[in-house]
């Protein structure tokens, strides 16, 4: 399983919080690349509910990771 920023961004609009099966269903319905679906299927699931993409990929960058001033735009 590998995540990239591009792959993980396909889940930004997912219905969080969500279970693994809900995320897979969302990825299929939204036309996400096959790699996203495969990564979700590889998650060892024990009935967990995921609150955000950070629960799946802890290295996902947050808004604080980018250095720009939103007030300027």
Q: Which residues contact 27 (CB under 8 A, 6 or more apart)?
A: 10, 11, 14, 36, 37, 40
Asked if the structure places residue 21 within a domain, the reply is yes
Domain that holds residue 27: 17-43
pLDDT band (50, 70, 90) for residue 5: confident
Q: Which residues contact 57 (CB under 8 A, 6 or more apart)?
A: 3, 8
State pTM to two decimals.
Answer: 0.80
15-42, pLDDT tens digit by residue?
999 999 999 999 999 999 999 999 999 9
| DSSP label of 49 | E
**If you average pLDDT over residues 4-12, what whole number do you get?**
89
What's residue 67's pLDDT? 55
Asked if the structure places residue 24 within a domain, the reply is yes
Three-class DSSP category at 2: coil
**If you average pLDDT over residues 34-59, what whole number do you get?**
91
Asked if the structure places residue 72 within a domain, the reply is no
Q: How many domains does the chain have?
A: 1
Asked if the structure places residue 34 within a domain, the reply is yes
């Amino acid at each position: 399983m590998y995540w990239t920023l591009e792959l993980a961004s396909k889940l930004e609009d997912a219905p969080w919080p969500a279970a693994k099966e809900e995320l897979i269903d969302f990825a299929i319905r939204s036309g996400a690349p096959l790699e996203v679906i495969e990564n979700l299927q590889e998650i060892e699931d024990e009935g967990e509910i995921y609150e955000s993409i950070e629960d799946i990929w802890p290295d996902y960058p947050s808004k604080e990771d980018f250095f720009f001033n939103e007030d300027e735009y």
